[in-house]
Amino acid sequence: MLLELRDVSARYGRIQALHGVDLHVDEGEVVALIGANGAGKTTIMRAVSGLLPVSTGSVIFEGQDITRLRADRRVARGISLSPEGRGIFPGMSVKENLDMGAYTRRDRAGIAADLERMLTLFPRLRERLGQPGGTLSGGEQQMLAVARSLMSRPKVLLLDEPSMGLAPKLIAQIFDIVVEIRRQGTTILLVEQNAHQALWVADRGYVLETGSVVRTGSGEDLLDDSSVKAAYLGVA
Amino acid sequence: MHFSEFWNDIGELTVTGLSQGSIYALFALGYTLVYGLLRLINFAHSEVFMVGSFAAVGTWKALGLDQNSQTPVLPVVLLLLVAALLVAALASGATALLVELVAYRPLRHRNAPPLAFLITAIGASVVLSEFVGILTHRRPQGVPPLVEPRPLVTIAGTQITNLQVGTIALALVAMFGLDVFIHRSRWGRGIRSVSQDPTTAALMGVNRSQVISLVFLLGGLMAGVAAVMYDLKIGGTRYDAGFALGVKAFTAAVLGGIGNLRGALLGGLCLGLAENYGAGVFGTEWHDVVAFALLVVVLMFRPTGLLGESLGRARA
Ligand SMILES: Nc1ncnc2c1ncn2[C@@H]1O[C@H](COP(=O)(O)OP(=O)(O)OP(=O)(O)O)[C@@H](O)[C@H]1O
Ligand SMILES: [Mg+2]
């Protein structure tokens, strides 16, 4: 098991956002996290990346308890989040944003090779290398966010709604890239509103409702599950 | 009004203004760096400067020179200057780090409101200045006559002294170095990332506390360099030397656009020039009036200062 959440609860002040969540991600898997708005998907991502301290329970990564580890240290351990809202540094160029992704690394040759790999994966970014991140279109920013989070060479990549606000064609492209990243060997935990496509590319999925896991299974099983269909796939 | 004299003196006023402004600019960087990162006005920065000015005098004293010594030969003078610059920069840098560690970090860990920081900032400033005041019996400390001001170059009929050339050149070199560091190095990227978006910076693996310490250190180093030039210009220093000059340096930072590195340079130079031109036109006693009148006028038309606020942040 690469990543595991054991009975994790988390709160924002008095609002409890997660109620004893159990979840795990094995090496090489793509795991999808689906649920309605406000279900707690982003909160799980924040707990895994260390942005939000959990109130009870533990986060285990590669067999080690990282519950109390600061967010910046988790990056060096191999956890990388492409956050909801993208978090592009507006005053930095595309190139500098990508360099920020490799902030914890010192292997210049490896970084240069990965930069090249990202620019091959996202040719759009190559055309815009010198442009300030803040002036990219939404879709370009999303590609930059995903590419940047890969620049740390994560063992697990956390993607929080990578298709948000994108045109259907770009969404398809993002999912193609998810498949490609996985093929290249990166484990992925994926949060999506596009439940259908997410479950389609995922090995397994978790369905979240008001801060609790209500269903889990393989991507195919969840796609076939009648209650999931009714609630998230728009099929009665 | 003394316009005819003003026109006669304009060259000299310009040079004096620029060299004075260089000291303001270097001093202003500490305010602007910290503000750009934390939205905090580090009032204790004036004492960071003051400690540097004492460290330089102390270095010379330790090497056997006081204000009654003879001026040594040039190579020795240069060595003494380099030694004082190093010691003063390190002493100011260390003081800035200490202020951050003792006065601000504990508050940050407790998520204190901005007002709490403001009060501790003023407190830290008073404690440092009083501490040195008590240690020195509030007496000024004289600087040995290392650099006897004499004309070095003449441009368009205006003589520029060795000290003025040195001050302006050193300030430009220091600021250029800092600018390159902030905009080109990995550490500089770390600083800019935290200033633009601390949460995402953490997701990139940037240690915010380390970046904050680094920024205080850089501001301190620059203030230390400014302090040595101040010592040489004034011929001495006092426990309250930082206060009066700190107000000016802070004004320069706001004038140029606080949070903006190049703004500190521009603000410092403009302030130095305005003061000296004002003194030339209205008489020396109007020196400070003109400086602050300029600030008020600029802020009326450009509330974020001449260059606006930015540590690499996107301009709105
Ligand atoms: N900063 C915050 N302060 C207070 N409450 C918050 C905060 N962030 C999230 N919440 C609450 O926590 C709950 C879970 O939010 P979360 O962002 O995890 O939902 P989500 O599943 O990601 O939703 P979406 O699909 O809309 O992104 C929601 O009820 C939300 O209102
Ligand atoms: Mg969300």
Q: Which amino acid is at B312?
A: G
Nearest residue by C-alpha to atom 2 in ligand 1? A12
Minimal Cα–Cα distance from A229 to chain B, Å?
34
Residue of A nearest to B205 (CA): A72
Residue B148 covered by a domain: no
Residue A96, chain B, CB below 8 Å: the answer is yes
Structural domain total, chain B: 1
Neighbours of A57 (CB within 10 A): 17
Q: Is A35 in the pocket of ligand 1 (CB under 6 A)?
A: yes
Query: Which ligand is the nearest neighbour of the Cα of A84?
Result: 2
Q: Name the pLDDT band for A234 (thresholds 50, 70, 90).
A: low
Question: Across residues A199-216, what is the average pLDDT?
Answer: 94
**How far, in Å, from the CA of A231 to the mean position of ligand 1?**
19
> Whole domain around residue B289: which residue ranges?
3-143+163-301
The model carries a pTM of 0.92
Residues in A 125-164 with any Cβ partner in B closer than 8 A? 132, 134, 148-149, 152
Residue B156 covered by a domain: no
Structure tokens at B143: 């600087």
Measuring CA to CA, how many Å separate B220 from each of A182, B111, B307?
Answer: 47, 25, 23
Of the residues A79, A100, A131, the best mutation for testing chain B's interface (the one with the most B CB atoms within 10 Å of its CB) is A100
Residue B190 covered by a domain: yes
Maximum CA pair distance of chain A? 53
**Which residues touch B140 (CB under 8 Å, ≥6 apart)?**
B236, B237, B238
Query: Which ligand is the nearest neighbour of the Cα of A37?
Result: 1
Residue A42, chain B, CB below 8 Å: the answer is no
> Distance between CA A23 and CA B157 in Å, rounded?
79
> Distance between CA A234 and CA A193 in Å, rounded?
12
Are β-strands A30-35 and B141-142 bridged in parallel, bridged antiparallel, or unpaired?
A: unpaired
Helices (H) and strands (E) in chain B, counts: 12, 4
| Mean pLDDT of successive 10-residue stretches along chain B, which has 316 residues | 77 92 97 93 96 96 85 90 97 98 95 92 95 94 87 83 93 95 95 95 97 98 97 93 93 92 94 92 86 86 82 43
Q: Which helix (H) or strand (E) holds B159?
A: strand B158-161
Residue A81, chain B, CB below 8 Å: the answer is yes
How would DSSP label each residue in B195-220?
HH-HHHHHHTT--HHHHHHHHHHHHH
Residue A181 CB-density burial (10 A; 0-12 exposed, 13-18 middle, 19+ buried): buried
Contact B40, B96 (CB under 8 A): no
Minimal Cα–Cα distance from A92 to chain B, Å?
7
Residue B271: its pLDDT value, please?
95
For chain A, how far is it from start to end, CA to CA, in angstroms?
36
Contact B2, B280 (CB under 8 A): yes
What architecture is the A3-89+155-232 domain classified under in CATH? 3-Layer(aba) Sandwich (3.40)
Nearest residue by C-alpha to atom 3 in ligand 1? A12
Residue of B nearest to A157 (CA): B203
Q: What is the 3-state secondary structure (H, E, C) of chain A?
A: CCEEEEEEEEEECCEEEEEEEEEEECCCCEEEEEECCCCCHHHHHHHHHCCCCCCEEEEEECCEECCCCCHHHHHHHCEEEECCCCCCCCCCEHHHHHHHHCCCCCCHHHHHHHHHHHHHHCHHHHHCCCCEHHHCCHHHHHHHHHHHHHCCCCCEEEEECCCCCCCHHHHHHHHHHHHHHHHCCCEEEEECCCHHHHHHHCCEEEEEECCEEEEEEEHHHHHHCHHHHHHHCCCC
**Which residues touch B62 (CB under 8 Å, ≥6 apart)?**
none
Q: Tell me which chain A residues have a C-beta less than 8 angstroms from the C-beta of B310.
A: 91
The ligand 1 atom at the shortest distance from the C-alpha of residue A41 is: 21
Which of A97, A96, A52, A51 shows the shortest CA–CA distance to A72? A51
Residue among A42, A81, A84, A208 whose CB has most ligand 1 atoms within 8 A, to mutate: A42
Q: Which of A87-96, A149-158, B228-237, B302-311 has the lowest mean pLDDT?
A: B302-311
Which of B146, B140, B102, B113 shows the shortest CA–CA distance to B39? B113
Interchain pair A49, B203: CB under 8 A: yes
Residue A48: its pLDDT value, please?
98
Residue B311 covered by a domain: no
Nearest residue by C-alpha to atom 22 in ligand 1? A42
Residue A233: its pLDDT value, please?
67
> Distance between CA A209 and CA B245 in Å, rounded?
60
Measuring CA to CA, how many Å separate A157 from each of A79, A234, B302?
Answer: 6, 28, 44
Residue A89, chain B, CB below 8 Å: the answer is yes
Residue B207 covered by a domain: yes
pLDDT per position as a tens digit, A7-50: 999 999 999 999 999 999 999 999 999 998 999 999 999 999 99
Residue B158 covered by a domain: no
Residue A51 confidence (pLDDT) above 90? yes
Residue of B nearest to A145 (CA): B200
Structure tokens at A125: 């970014």
Q: What is the 3-state secondary structure (H, E, C) of A138-171?
A: HHHHHHHHHHHHHCCCCCEEEEECCCCCCCHHHH
Residue B138 covered by a domain: yes
CATH number where B274 lies: 1.10.3470
Structure tokens at B281: 């036109």
Residues in B 195-214 with any Cβ partner in A closer than 8 A? 196-197, 199-208
Q: Tell me which chain A residues have a C-beta less than 8 angstroms from the C-beta of B197.
A: 87, 89
Residue B149 covered by a domain: no
The residues spanned by each domain of chain A are 3-89+155-232
**How far, in Å, from the CA of A208 to the mean position of ligand 1?**
12
> Distance between CA B311 and CA B260 in Å, rounded?
5
Give the Cα-Cα-Cα angle B32, B35, B36 (nearest 5 degrees).
Answer: 80
Neighbours of A142 (CB within 10 A): 25
Q: Tell me which chain B residues have a C-beta less than 8 angstroms from the C-beta of A132.
A: 314
Residue B1: its pLDDT value, please?
64
Q: Tell me which chain B residues have a C-beta less than 8 angstroms from the C-beta of A100.
A: 189, 193, 201, 204, 206
Interchain pair B189, A100: CB under 8 A: yes
Residue B316: its pLDDT value, please?
31
Which of B89, B68, B203 shows the shortest CA–CA distance to A150? B203
Which of B206, B179, B176 shows the shortest CA–CA distance to B310? B179
